[in-house]
Amino acid sequence: HTVLIVSTDPAHSLGDSISQDVSGGQPTLLQGTDLPVYAMEINPEETMDQLRSLLKKVEDTQVEEQEGPAGMAGNAKLDFGKILEKVQDLKLDELLEDPPPGTDEAIAVAKVVQFAEKPEFEKFTRIVIDTAPTGHTLRLLTLPQFIALSIEKILRFRSVITQLAGQSKGDVAIDKLEELQRQMNDAQVLFRDKDRTEFVIVGIPTYLSVAESARLAKALEEEDVFVRHVVLNQILDFAAAEAEAAGGDSSSKVSADEAAARIRRFVESRMKDQQAALARLKSDPATANLELFEGPVINMEVRGVPALQYFASIIWSS
């Protein structure tokens, strides 16, 4: 597969993870691997600014049309005024100045849908979207519908205003809003298309993370989003830790033994907690049927393409 990894998280860490600048908003081929893997970060705030600009253009056009043609009847003007008040009551500009958490990411996902429709993106057979934490992700599932409905209200009122003003010419801003509305609707469909989309939950083996993963799995099921895998990172491997301790300096036998004993006690304690968390994950109805992949703790920071390739080989070989 030719893979594109896209980060829509406002707090981007994708570039840091692969040790490569992918902030240009266009697919960038990963260095350090022969695999056809590309990455890109989308700036959600930039996409929000574009939407604000569109709405400002719509608002400015409405003001220009408020008086209508010179021959408009008085009662028509009255109706027009009421409609304009309703448009203003939507307060969409205020919504965008202080949007609900996840709105920027929803707009960014719509941009991914837009990109995917371009010919130059046809080569990608897999697109991986790196989303924000759980709370944002859950809102991300419903916000496209919310935004699409808000745009629909604007378009509906705007259509009436245009008719009252006696104008039939095209409006570039409205055309772009209609396009965004379509992308939002497409995103809603895409999220729930089991033949094209799968959600993978990623966590660590702690009580809090497992509980959060279970809530997320349940919420995804309720939203009809397909999920069948969960990945838990930082799994402790006692055998590996013991072997590493045994490789210490033989000239300081006592010190090495003490170090090994400390490592053993620490690892056993952590493993006990992790096994309890794993048992909870496997017994929770929301996650019991998901295929589990375990990402072990290894003696290096997983950063950069070679390290990520090595880590991936460990996970998928399990």
Q: Can you read off the two tokens belonging to residue 93?
A: 């500009």
Instruction: Tell me what pLDDT residue 81 has.
Output: 52
The answer to whether 102 and 136 are in contact (CB under 8 A) is yes
Tens place of pLDDT for every residue, the chain, 318 residues? Answer: 999 999 877 666 889 889 899 988 889 999 999 999 999 988 777 767 766 776 666 666 555 555 455 444 444 443 445 545 555 555 555 555 666 556 666 777 777 777 777 888 889 999 998 876 666 667 667 666 667 676 776 666 666 555 555 554 456 666 777 777 787 788 888 889 999 999 999 999 888 899 999 999 998 999 899 999 999 998 876 665 555 555 554 444 456 777 788 878 888 888 899 999 999 999 999 999 999 999 988 877 788 899 899 999 988 886
Do 181 and 205 belong to one domain? no
In terms of residues, how long is the chain?
318
Q: Can you read off the two tokens belonging to residue 155?
A: 């378009």
Q: pTM of the predicted model, to two decimals?
A: 0.67
Residue 41 CA to residue 286 CA, distance in Å, equals: 31
Last residue of a domain, which of 132, 160, 191? 191
- Owning domain of residue 33: 3-191
Do 125 and 236 belong to one domain? no
Do 150 and 236 belong to one domain? no
User: Which pairs with CB-CB distance under 8 Å and at least 24 residues apart come from 280-284?
Assistant: 280/207, 280/210, 280/211, 280/214, 281/205, 281/210, 281/213, 281/214, 281/230, 281/232, 284/210, 284/214
Place of tokens 């409006």: 171
Do 145 and 233 belong to one domain? no
Kindly list the distances between the CA atom of residue 287 and the CA atoms of 68, 85, 140, 214, 281, in Å, as whole numbers in the listed order: 60, 49, 21, 6, 6
Residue 143 CA to residue 149 CA, distance in Å, equals: 10
Count of structural domains within the chain: 2
Q: Can you read off the two tokens belonging to residue 158?
A: 């705007």
Catalytic-role residue among 9, 16, 93, 273: 9
- Residue 9 is a catalytic residue: yes
Do 203 and 184 belong to one domain? no
